[in-house]
Structures are given as structure tokens and as C-alpha cells.
């Protein structure tokens, strides 16, 4: 009798251990993370057209009056307060107002000579300038002030005495050579400017505010080839210098009425 030995079969075969099972969980996590960022991006980027359609649809569904209001995500560009800039603007305004009033007072004081065309008052970025024809102040080729001119200059000095601005007096001549006590037009223009400065000092204007400059014929306001042009170039300019030279725009003044 043959004996057959048969190995007993196991009820089940043991499954081999899978060491890569964590990849499934990792892939699911990455997918969820990607979906999360897609949703966040879609929320942050509002399409105005689609948002309006969605808002109108909600309004119709809830009675037509409850439509969602548009979300304003724009940040207004509000100017930041600048105390230094504000103070500078206020100072500019005061300076402009003060110089304009001074120009008007000078126009009123010199009104008769302004109407005759012998005095011109202008307000520029440099300050307020009073150009006086030399024939009003001096005899030809002379640097001594006439008696009539002293009265007019004292009236100007009365306006400048209590004003805080610096004052520059400039003498100008034509281009014709002179044969007098002055060697050239340089000396004549400088001495004429100094004569006006001395009168201002005698009238009470502080000397440290005053400057005398002679330009000879180097800054003409008219051609020197005619008698009329040379007469215009012979002048003395009294300039009240602005404390803010870059503030005041050129504003021609008009004679006082």
C-alpha cells in the first residue's frame, strides 16, 4: 500500500509587505494642496463681469433687491501729510503777498513818474524792481542827486525802512564814452548807485540791508544806436530782493488808479 504524503495547504497565502504604500497618501496630499491653492487664487482674482452676473442672479433669486454690492479692493492713494511742505507753502504765500503789497505801494508813491514813463515797477522771481530813469535823478554825466529826486527817493526809503528784505541798487549807463571827472562809465554807474544808497541810509534804511553795484553799459534794456534807446539805458534800478527767489513768478504791475 503506497502511502502518499501531501503537504497541507495553507488556508491563505500571506501577502508580501508593500513598502511604497506611503506614495498614495503623499499623492493625495499634493492633489489636495494644489486644489487649495487653485481655490485661493480664484477667490483673490475677481472677474468683474462674472461677479456682476453672479450678483444679479442672487438678486433675482432673493427678490431682486438683495444683490450683492461690488467689493472695492482698490487701495486709495491718499497723500501723506508733509508738515515741512505745508510750512514752506505758507511761507511762500506770505512772501508773495508781502512783495505784491510792496510793489503796489511803490506804484502808488511813484505814480506821477510812472505815468510819465520815467519810472517802471515790476515784480519778478528776483523780487520787486523800481527802475528810475537817470534824468530824474542826475544831471548828464553827473553823480549828484538833484533836489527833486531826493524827495522821490525819500518816499521810497520810507516804504523800505521797516521792510525786512535786502535791497540792491544798480547803476546803468549807455555805451557812449564820457570825458568828465569819471574815468569811464564803470565809475559813473557805481558812484550813482552809491549816491542812492547813501540817501537811503540817511532816510533810516539799515546799511547792512543795502548793496551798491555799477554795471556800466553791460545790461541795456534798449538798443544804444538811438537817442531814445540810450536815454532808457541810463537808469538806476532799486531791487527789493525776495527771500524766496524761486517762488514769485514774473508779474508786471500796473499804475495805481
Per-residue pLDDT of the chain (257 residues; tens, 9 = 90+): 455 555 555 554 555 565 566 667 777 778 877 777 777 766 665 566 665 666 666 566 555 554 445 555 555 666 656 777 778 788 888 888 899 999 999 999 999 999 999 999 999 888 999 999 999 999 988 999 999 899 999 999 999 999 999 999 999 999 999 888 899 999 999 999 999 999 999 999 999 999 999 999 999 999 999 999 999 999 999 999 998 745 434 445 544 44
140 shares a domain with 41 = no
pLDDT at residue 88, rounded to an integer: 79
| Residue 72 domain-assigned (yes or no) | no
125 shares a domain with 220 = yes
48, with CB counted inside 10 A (0-12, 13-18, 19+), is exposed
102 shares a domain with 51 = no
| Residue 60 domain-assigned (yes or no) | yes
Q: How many distinct structural domains can be found in the chain?
A: 2
Pairing of the two strands 210-214 and 167-172: parallel
| Residue 166 domain-assigned (yes or no) | yes
CATH code at 229?
Answer: 3.30.1330.60
50 shares a domain with 169 = no
97 shares a domain with 52 = no
Q: How many beta carbons lie within 10 A of that of residue 151, not counting itself?
A: 9
| Residue 204 domain-assigned (yes or no) | yes
| Residue 83 domain-assigned (yes or no) | no
172 shares a domain with 135 = yes
Please give the residue range of the domain that contains residue 44: 33-65
Amino acid at each position: 500500500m503506497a502511502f502518499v504524503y501531501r503537504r497541507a495547504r495553507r488556508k491563505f497565502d500571506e501577502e508580501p509587505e508593500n513598502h511604497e504604500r506611503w506614495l498614495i497618501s503623499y499623492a493625495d496630499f499634493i492633489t489636495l494642496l494644489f486644489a487649495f491653492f487653485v481655490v485661493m487664487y480664484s477667490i483673490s482674482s475677481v472677474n468683474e463681469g462674472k461677479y456682476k452676473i453672479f450678483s444679479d442672479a442672487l438678486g433675482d433669486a432673493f427678490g431682486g433687491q438683495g444683490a450683492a454690492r461690488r467689493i472695492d479692493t482698490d487701495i486709495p492713494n491718499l497723500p501723506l501729510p508733509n508738515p515741512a511742505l505745508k510750512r514752506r507753502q505758507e511761507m511762500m504765500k506770505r512772501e508773495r503777498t508781502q512783495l505784491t503789497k510792496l510793489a503796489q505801494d511803490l506804484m502808488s508813491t511813484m505814480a506821477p513818474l510812472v505815468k510819465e514813463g520815467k519810472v517802471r515797477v515790476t515784480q519778478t522771481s528776483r523780487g520787486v524792481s523800481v527802475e528810475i530813469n537817470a534824468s530824474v535823478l542826475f544831471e548828464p554825466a553827473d553823480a549828484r542827486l538833484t533836489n527833486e529826486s531826493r524827495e522821490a527817493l525819500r518816499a521810497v526809503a520810507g516804504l523800505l525802512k521797516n521792510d525786512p528784505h535786502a535791497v540792491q541798487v544798480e547803476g546803468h549807463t549807455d555805451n557812449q564814452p564820457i570825458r568828465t571827472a569819471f574815468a569811464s562809465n564803470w565809475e559813473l554807474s557805481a558812484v550813482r548807485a552809491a549816491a542812492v544808497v547813501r540817501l537811503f541810509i540817511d532816510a533810516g534804511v539799515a546799511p547792512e540791508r543795502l548793496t551798491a553795484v555799477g554795471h556800466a553799459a553791460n545790461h541795456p534794456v534798449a538798443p544804444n544806436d538811438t537817442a531814445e534807446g540810450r536815454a532808457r539805458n541810463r537808469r538806476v534800478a532799486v531791487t527789493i530782493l525776495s527771500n524766496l527767489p524761486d517762488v514769485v513768478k514774473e508779474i508786471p504791475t500796473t499804475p495805481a488808479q
